[in-house]
Amino acid sequence: MGNLDIEGIINALRTITSGHQGPVSLHEPTLRGNEWAYVKDCLDSTWVSYVGQYVDRFESMLAEFTGVKKAVAVVNGTTALHIALKLAGVEPGDEVFVPALTFVATANAVAYCGAVPHFVDSEERTLGLDPHKLRDYLKSIARIDVGGCTNKFSGRRIKAVIPMHAFGHPVDLDSLAEVCKEYKIEMIEDAAESLGSYYKGKHTGNWGKLSVLSFNGNKTITTGGGGAIMTNDEHLGKMAKHLTSTAKIPHRWEYRHDYIGYNYRLPNINAAVGCAQMEQLPEFLVRKRHLAERYCDTFKKIQGVRFFKEPSFASSNYWLNVLLLDEASYKKRDEVLEATNDQGFKTRPAWDLLNTLPMFQDCSAMDLSCAENLVKRIVNIPSSSFLGKANAQT
């Protein structure tokens, strides 16, 4: 076993979060902008539900910030993924490539469509899906014809791939887009964690046919619970709105619906919080970057561990900061988790690899050696934006 300086890790966390009283959470929202004013406006006007100005405004702000043409606000990132997959044409019996190293929602959404996740490996450079390894894998399992891509072994159509920008760090999107083009596979970006993260200068969410965001309470911005479906395709954008709002045909009084629709609409009161949060997003990102820089400097001096930095082609939001234990020290991961949590610093490991969960253990998977290695070594550390400083205050 290598030398891992657990005491050093705790001291580093203490130094960087000093001035913040009590237990330090992993990611806590900051609600110091217009949240009150906008929510009170909802309550005073009684427009708390699905009619009201904040949903439209929130969707416009998201589209403007990310540069994706259309954003449709929904109750969370999971439901956003469900509809994005449906609109990308994922059908019962299809296979969809999903990184083994992601939050369970990525694979659950595939299952909601009656399709089957097929797990793929990650790369240490991004912590996300490895496009080169995927291409090599496809060479050995895929058959391409007019109908698209078929898995020669399962006989199923491989309809889509869902890169997930883990902890905010963008996947190598250009390389993945090439693979998708070559093999006629649709890309759906799971950008749940990457609001404010850019790949080669362009915001994540612009590469997929559709993409999704999340505004869960632990995300860079929050709406309590919330998410969005994003797309540059106007028709898909309209369909996303229609399907997530019960597929009702507009009429002055009639209640008539033309598809099996979903009730995934974000209430106006949650969108009101979202508008106020979006106003503060640029500052949150500056603070989070400042925090990441401080972590990076500080952990350079700690033995047995490395602070994970954004890939060279990316500017990340550093949603959840990542410590990577050295190969030699991975057996001490739970010791680090226990010691830090005991000291009031909320830390956590990555998600258990999805192919190890009972409901997905029989799904196909490629060699997952990198993901298996990473999951043993990743420790997320406190990352709330208020732990960093805004430019003006440095």
Question: Which residues lie near a copy of itself (CB under 8 A)?
Answer: 28-31, 35-36, 39-40, 42-44, 46-51, 75-79, 103-105, 108, 111-112, 114, 216-218, 222-225, 246-248, 252-263, 265-270, 273, 337, 341, 347-352, 357-359
The answer to whether the Cα torsion of 35, 36, 37, 40 is positive or negative is positive
**Residue placing its CB nearer to a copy of itself in the complex, 327 or 352:** 352
CB of 156 to a copy of itself, least distance (A): 18
Sheet (strand 202-203) strand order: 202-203, 198-199, 314-315
**Residue placing its CB nearer to a copy of itself in the complex, 9 or 173:** 9
CB of 146 to a copy of itself, least distance (A): 28
The residues with which 321 forms a beta bridge, in sequence order, are 381
**Residue placing its CB nearer to a copy of itself in the complex, 3 or 263:** 263
CB of 260 to a copy of itself, least distance (A): 5
CB of 49 to a copy of itself, least distance (A): 2
CB of 274 to a copy of itself, least distance (A): 11
CB of 135 to a copy of itself, least distance (A): 29
CB of 188 to a copy of itself, least distance (A): 17
Q: CA dist 69 to 37, 160, 232, 277, Å?
A: 28, 21, 5, 20
**Residue placing its CB nearer to a copy of itself in the complex, 31 or 141:** 31
Query: Tokens 């612009």 label which residue?
Result: 206
DSSP state, residue 186? E
Closest by CA position to 6, among listed 387, 351, 331 = 331
**Residue placing its CB nearer to a copy of itself in the complex, 220 or 223:** 223
DSSP state, residue 317? -
Encoded amino acid at 217, one letter: G
Encode burial over 142-172: b for 16+ CB neighbours within 10 A, e otherwise: beeeeebbbbeeeebbbbbbbbbbbbbbbbb
**Residue placing its CB nearer to a copy of itself in the complex, 179 or 320:** 320
Alpha helices in the chain (DSSP H): 6-16, 35-45, 53-66, 77-87, 105-112, 131-141, 173-183, 234-244, 268-299, 333-342, 369-377
**Residue placing its CB nearer to a copy of itself in the complex, 148 or 225:** 225
Closest by CA position to 378, among listed 307, 282, 301 = 307
